[in-house]
Structure formats: structure tokens, C-alpha cells
Amino acid sequence: METVNVLFSGVGGQGIILSSMILAKAAFQAGYMVKESELHGMAQRGGSVISHVRFGEEVHSPLIRKGKADFLVALEELEGLRNVFYLKPDGRIILNRKKVVPPSANPDIAPYPEDTESLMKSMGFSVDSANALGNAKVENIIVMGILSRHLSFPLSIWEKVIPSSVPSKTVEINLAAFRKGRDIAEAKAA
Amino acid sequence: MPKSSLVFTSWYLLVFNTYLKGVFLMKEDLIDKEILSGDDAIGRGAIEAGISLATSYPGTPATEILQYIARHFDGDAEWSVNEKVAFETAVGASYAGKRALCSMKHVGVNVASDPLMTAAYLGLKGGLVLAVADDPSAYSSQNEQDSRFYAKFAKIPCLEPSDSQEARDMTIIAFDLSEKMGLPVMVRAVTRVCHAYSPVTLVPVRDQNPLSLQKDPANMIAVPGNVLRCHNNLNKKQEDLVKWGADSGLNRIFKNGQKKGIIACGIGHAYAREYDPEYAILKISYYPFEETMIEEFVKGLEEVWVFEEGEPFVEEIARRYSSLVKGKISGEINSTGELGPDVLDEDTSSSTSNQPSHVLPMPLPSRPPVLCPGCPHGRFYEALKAVKPAFTAGDIGCYTLGANPPYQIIDSCLCMGAGISKAAGIAKQGVKRVAAVIGDSTFIHSGIPALINAGYNRANILVLILDNSSVAMTGSQPTPLTGITAKGVEGGKVSLEDICRACGVSSVEVVDPYDVEKTKVLLNAKLDAEGVHVVISRRSCILVKKRNSQ
């Protein structure tokens, strides 16, 4: 089995590290070797956050090589664009349609790109997108739901790992968000 | 030391299972398998090795080592005020016959280097492991210095894990080695080991050493009369260290007729395995080693790469035995920045986080870290900027972000506690209206001597202590100013104002940074005044308040 490489990207506060840990735990429960890698500190300060998750029979490097990611989970549009170079040419982007404009952005030098989804598609990537407006607190879990449709883990593993990863009073909300993501992905495939 | 040699041997073999293939794994000793970060794994390893004490000062990427221990260990785990004190405290525990783990980031070793160097000369009693977290690419640091040089300088052994399992295993091995050789032992990890998560097989926690306070003047008192003998002893140990390493299996050759090879140190091994099986691999996890190991590996190879984080420490050695070595000296690998997994790919930029978006048709806006919305430092900087100091010597913490837009008010940042000393140095050249900005935790770490010095040696400076009740940048750790310890219980407490007054300064004032107008007036007056003046800008970090209200 080829190692599966998933890159998560977004802005601090969106729950990227939580999402990547959930995926890592799910892969581990499914019996795979797994490595997850992240950088700390920028999350609280509105900076870019990325994390790498790799799972398979044998995994050595904790970092994904350029052009080797199977999936790019982009919780924010700009951060998604910033990291497309990680993707395989036929890689898939799971995109949360959300723009967080950097406070120091200078529109004359580098404007925030307009239509991120079309731009990504024009580069040849498959894109599953969703808009989590109104559910910002669980947008990371909705997006996990979409991703889960493309991975081989049984639902039972996710339904075990998610409750053990979130505060107990939010378990129901998170499971509902996860199922919503799965429904979105299923509807799109149909 | 463990109770019987039989228990020791079987336990030792258990721990070696990752790299001595074919060793019998005793299932009944296994508790569980968990996904841990490298930092967690070092913490877990220390607990399993039977420590009685863990000391540390916060610093990315080492912070989580002590945090893991504080959460999971019933015994003593402390945030020391700085790395020197942390190391010395650990030496004390060692003199009492107990095992101690001291952890810090790479620049922290600069602070701890005084006791480290002489502790190696004198020798130790209970095992002492110095766990160091280097930061290649300096994602959160002032430089990317390579801690292996400290191990070589101090003449102590260094173990370098490539993932969490090894981080745990090598921490345990390090304690045994420390007691066997009577030396501190370094475990050197890097960001991609510290903050990467992978499965670790947990083992039972060993008993702590019994209390056994030693008096051994010849080997505990560093005075001229003892130095040459101690130095001689340290030199004699070096041969034993090399021999121990050769027998340990920590450095291994994986070769099967390939004509190309990679000498892979620490995390470099994880990246090298991605290029299997084309390349033979010499895995290096232990220093010091006999150079014949390198000589044997490169023999017959038409191409030799060296994968190592930091300086070309091993590459220099390899170049003595082969003219076909590729790495940082020869220029195929960037000499700065982290190695990354793309080493042998065509476009080798060293830092994956600074990738140019060459795939995209346009440049993208950057997203540098900023102060949190509502941060008291932000309000303070508004006031400071308005009064236009001639120079603002900064220091290390969240407030260093004042160097970035929109403030751009911090003019320098060197190392912990340097703001006050630099400001004094500038002011003594006749420059007026010089300010120093330092955080409360940084001040306790190493600002106090600088403050005393400024008053004693008559510099005219304004010292601005930004007191947000937290070691904020590293995740809101507590300090003696908050009076809460690493384990979340009440400890001793000190008063910042009292300390400043005791340092012999001309005045100490406290201001609330949210009151920008009042702050402006005060700063302006103090900048013009003769003498050393302290203004404490006091308001809690908003993340501390958030945590306390949850």
C-alpha cells in the first residue's frame, strides 16, 4: 500500500491541529503506521498553520514531500493556495470556502485572489468545496467529514475517534458536523 | 541502578527492540501503544527511567517535555527561572543520588553552558540527562545553532533520535549511560522530532533511585587543585564512550550492494529512508563514534550524501574518507535552514515553510504572526511609538512582535535579558531617550543583573517591563511573579516592584497600558529623566484571562 499523504492548512484558531490529530488517530485505530507533524505558536497569533499527516504500512519522514500530497485540506482559501505545491498533479483539495484577509496584506503588491476554487480547478486539481457559514466552530469537522468519504476507514472508527478528541459537551455537535460533511460529499458524488 | 543484572538485561533489550532486529519482545511487559510527540516521548521516557526531578525553562520546541512530565508524573517537575538554574538544580538532585531530566531549547544551552562544562569535568552521581530541542530554520528562535557541538565541547555523549519511539528509547538509554559513565548525557532532538507525532510503545515505570547524598570533595569541588585530575578522568572516559557506542548498535550500516549511500543523522534517517532502496544508509544516532565506521561505509561508494540538521558536523569527518561527499560544504544541500524531506529532489529549497508559490500565476499576500486582538502590548506600543524614543532595545517574547508592522517600534533583539544591557551600552555613549523593553518572565530569567548593572554603572535609561503575568509566547507558563508552579499549585511569589526597587533604580512606576494617554505622558517624562527609571506596564495576557475564565 502506498503511503497516503494529507496536508492540512488554514489560519490559527480554525482547529487544524485538532483535525490532523483526529485523522492520525483514525489511521492508527485502523492499524496503520502514522506520523503527524505541526509547527506550534503561530496558531494563537493569526498566522498560517499547516500540519502533515502520513499513514500507511511504513512511514518514515514526518513531512510530506513536494508534489506528493494526495489531499490538501484547506480550511482557508489563501492558505490553501499557498500550499498547492504539495499536491500530486491529480491531487484533491477539500476546500472550506472562507477568506480570512491578513491584517498586513497590501492589495497593491499582492491582492487576495478572487475566485480560489476556479483557480484551483484551472491548475488541474479536483476540488470538493463547502461553505460552513453559521457553523464556523465546527467547520474543521465538517471538512473532515468530506475527507472521510475519500478514505477507506469504516465510519465506526471515526465515530470512536471524534468523541475522544473533543470536549465531552461538544461531542454531539461535532458528530453531527461530521455527518453533514459526509452528506455533502455523497451528494456531490451522486 | 536497577536491582539485578538479569532484570537490567531483559529491560535493556526491550528498549533496544527498535533497532536490534530479532530481539525478543516481552509482551507481558508492554502496557500500551500511544501516539506521542517527540517531546511527550522524551517526557515519558524520563518518567519510565525513574526520574525524581524534571527542570526546564519554556522554549519552543522543548516546552512540551516538561509539560508532559508535569501532567503525568507525581514527583517533582519545575519551571526554573532560567536554564542555568534548571541545570544546576538537576545537578543537585544527581548529587543526592537521584535521576533528573533537564530540558531546554538550543539557545538555552548557552545559558546552561557554565554548569554543563564543569559538571562534565567533575562527574555526576545519579543520572542526569540534558534534553535539548534544536530549531533548524529557526521557526521560533534567534538562531539555528547546532547543539551537537556542545556535547563535543563538553566531552559528553549525545544521542539523536529520529522519531518519537527513538526519543523515548534513547532517553531511557541516556539515563543508564549517564550513571555508567558518571557524566551528563545529551539527547538532541529537532522540531521535526519534537512536534511530530508517531506511535510509541509504553513500558513500565522503573523505581526511582533511593536517596543517597554523596560527599566526594575531589569530584565535587572544582578548584584548581582538582581540575587537572578531573580533566584527565574526563579524557580517559572518551575512549569508553566510543567503545560503548560501538557496542550499542545505535549507529548502524544498512548496505546491500548499493553504489550510492547516505550518512543520516537523527531525523536525517527518516528522510533517507524515503529514498530506499537505491541508497545504502549509515544511520547515526550516537556521538562520539570511531571514524573507521565512516571509512568502512564510504568504501566503494560512488556517491555519498550526508543528511544532518545543523552544521556539517559529520560531513566534515566524511570528507576525510571520500572525495565524493555531497552535502552542505560541497553545496548540494543548503547550509542554512532545515533539511526537509526533499533533499535529493531537483529543486532543493531548504525550508518547506518558505516555498515560493511558483506553481501559481501570482504572488500571494503573506500572513505573518501578529499580536492577538486586545493584546496589552499593542496598546502599550501605541503610547511608546508616540513619544519617539531614540532607540528601543527589545528582548524575547510576544512583545518582540512590536518589531513588525503596524508598530515597528522595537529596534533590536539579541538574546534573553539583553534589552536592558544593550540600552545601557547605547546610553553610555551619550545617546539620550534610550528605552529598553523586556517582558516580566524574561526579566526574571536574566534581566535583574542587567538592571542592577545599569544603576551601579550609571546609565541613563528607561526600562519598560511589560508584565502580562505569563510566559506567553511559549503557551502561558507560570512564573514566580504569579506564584503558581508547573504543577499548578501555589509556590513562592515575588513582587516585580520590590525587585526593581532593590536593584537600586531611581524610580519604579506601574501603569495600565489600556490607558494610552496616561502611559504616553509618563513615558515621555521618564525618557528625559536622568538615572535608571522603570515603568511596569501591567495587564494580563488575554489568553491567560481566557483560560482562567473557562
Multiple choice CATH, B5-248, 3.90.1300.10, 2.40.50.100, 3.40.50.970, 1.10.630.10? 3.40.50.970
The answer for A 1-20 residues in CB contact with B (under 8 A) is 11
* A68 to chain B: closest CA residue: B342
- Chain B interface, best mutation among A14, A19, A63, A68, by max B CB count within 10 A: A63
Mean pLDDT over residues B40-69, rounded? 97
Buried b (16+ CB within 10 A) or exposed e, B66-96: bbbbbeebeebbbbbbbbbbbbbbbbebbbb
> Is residue B143 predicted with pLDDT exceeding 50?
yes
The mean pLDDT value of chain B amounts to 91
CB contact under 8 A, A104 and B271: no
Query: Can you tell me the mean pLDDT for B332-356?
Result: 72
**Are A34 and B35 a contacting pair at CB < 8 A?**
yes
CB contact under 8 A, A39 and B195: yes
Average pLDDT over residues B472-499: 93
Please give the mean pLDDT across all residues of chain A.
Answer: 92
- Whether A174 is in a domain gets the answer no
Chain-chain contact of B367 with A123 (C-beta, under 8 angstroms):
no
List chain B residues with CB under 8 Å of A34. Answer: 35, 197-199
Give the H/E segment covering residue B245: helix B224-248
CB count within 10 Å of CB A188 equals 12
| Sign of the four-CA dihedral B406, B411, B416, B421 | negative
End-to-end CA distance of chain B: 44
pLDDT band, very low/low/confident/very high, at B545 (cuts 50, 70, 90): low
pLDDT one-digit tens code per residue, B203-253: 999 999 999 998 999 999 999 999 999 999 999 999 999 999 999 999 999
A45: nearest CB among B342, B366, B372: B372
Give B271's contacts in chain A (Cβ within 8 Å): 60-61
Whole-angstrom Cα distance, residue B357 to residue B338? Answer: 19
pLDDT computed for residue A105 by the predictor: 67
Amino acid found at A107: P
Answer yes or no: is pLDDT of B53 > 90: yes
| Secondary structure of B159-205 as H, E, C letters | ECCCCHHHHHHHHHHHHHHHHHHCCCEEEEEEHHHHCEEEEEECCCC
Q: Is the dihedral of CA B290, B292, B295, B296 positive or negative?
A: negative
Out of A33, A35, A46, closest to residue B369 by CB? A46
Q: What is the CATH number of the domain that holds A48?
A: 3.40.920.10
Residues 188-207 of B with CB under 8 A from A: 191-193, 195-199
Size of interface A-B (CB pairs under 8 A): 141
Nearest-neighbour CA in chain A from B140: distance (Å)? 8
- Residue pair A189/A150 in contact by the 8 Å Cβ criterion: no
φ, ψ of residue B440 to 5 degrees: the values are: -65, -40
Domains B5-248 and B252-347 share a fold: yes
CB proximity B110 to A under 8 Å: no
Contact B271 A39 (CB under 8 A): no
Bridge-based pairing state of the strands A69-74 and B185-190 = unpaired
Q: What's the confidence (pLDDT) of residue A44?
A: 65
- Inter-chain touch A47–B370, beta carbons under 8 Å: yes
Chain A nearest CA to B364, separation (Å): 5
Number of domains in chain A: 1
Res B98: pLDDT: 98
Q: Would you say residue A133 has pLDDT above 80?
A: no
CATH hierarchy code of domain B252-347: 3.40.50.920
Q: Which structural domain range is residue A107 located in?
A: 4-133
- Asked if A102 lies within 8 A of B367 by C-beta distance, the reply is yes
What pLDDT was estimated at residue B119?
A: 98
**What pTM, to 2 d.p., does this model score?**
0.93
The pLDDT tens digits of the residues spanning A29-44 come to: 999 999 999 987 666 6
- What is the structure's pLDDT at B68? 98
Averaged over B434-462, what is the pLDDT?
97
* B147 and A CB contact within 8 Å: no
A21 touches chain B (CB under 8 A): yes
pLDDT of B509? 97
Q: How is residue B247 written as a grid cell?
A: 557496542
Nearest by CB: A110 against B60, B163, B364: B364
B chain contacts of residue A120, beta-carbon cutoff 8 Å: none
* Cβ within 8 Å, pair A65-B360: no
Best mutation target among B197, B357, B396, B407 (most A Cβ atoms within 10 Å) is B197
Instruction: Judge whether residue B549 has pLDDT over 70.
Output: no
Partners of B468 on chain A (C-beta within 8 Å) are none
- Which residues touch A55 (CB under 8 Å, ≥6 apart)? A3, A4, A23, A24, A27, A28, A32, A33, A34, A35
Look at residue B163 and tell me whether its pLDDT is greater than 70: yes
CA distance linking residue A170 with residue A167, whole number of Å: 6
pLDDT by residue (tens digit) across A64-116? 999 999 999 999 999 999 999 999 999 999 999 999 998 766 777 788 998 99
Looking at chain B, which residue has its C-alpha nearest residue A60? B270
pLDDT band at B517 (very low <50, low <70, confident <90, very high): very high
Q: Which residues of B touch A109 (CB under 8 A)?
A: 363, 365
DSSP summary character for residue B403 = G
**What pLDDT sits at residue B346?**
63
CB-CB under 8 Å, A82 with B195: no
CB-closest option in A44, A48, A102 to B543: A44
Closest residue on chain A to B365 (Cα): A110
How far is B343 from chain A, CA to nearest CA, in Å?
9
Q: Which of B311-325, B441-455, B474-488 has the lowest mean pLDDT?
A: B474-488
Check if B372 contacts A (Cβ < 8 Å). Answer: yes
Model pLDDT, residue B75: 96
Neighbours of B324 (CB within 10 A): 15
Q: Do B367 and A11 touch (CB under 8 A)?
A: yes
| Grid cell listed for A76 | 482557508
Flag whether pLDDT at A136 surpasses 90. no
User: Which chain B residues are closer than 8 Å to A62 by Cβ?
Assistant: 163, 192-193, 196, 198, 267, 270
Distance CA A25, CA A6 (A): 13
**pLDDT per residue as tens digits for the range B5-48:** 544 444 444 454 444 333 333 333 445 899 999 999 999 999 99
Q: Is the pLDDT of residue A156 over 70?
A: yes
Q: Which pLDDT score, from 0 to 100, does residue B369 have? A: 80
Second CATH level (architecture) for the domain B376-549: 3-Layer(aba) Sandwich (3.40)
List own/partner pairs for B446-449 with CB under 8 A and 24 or more apart: B446/B82, B446/B111, B446/B416, B446/B417, B447/B395, B447/B417, B447/B419, B447/B420, B448/B499, B448/B503, B449/B417
Q: Which of B472, B488, B392 is nearest to B440 (CA)?
A: B472
Tell me if chain B has a CB within 8 Å of the CB of A79.
yes
Domains of chain B, residue spans: 5-248, 252-347, 376-549
Nearest CA in chain B to A82: B357
Of chain A residues 119-138, which have a CB less than 8 A from chain B? Answer: 119, 123
* B28 min Cα distance to partner chain A (Å): 21
Q: What are phi and psi of A37, to 5 degrees?
A: -140, 140
CB contact under 8 A, B35 and A123: no
Closest C-alpha among B204, B207, B206, B205 to residue B27:
B204
Inter-chain contact B197–A61, Cβ cutoff 8 Å?
Answer: no
pLDDT at B4 over 80: no
pLDDT, greater one: A108 or B540: B540
Per the domain annotation, does A118 fall within a domain?
Answer: yes
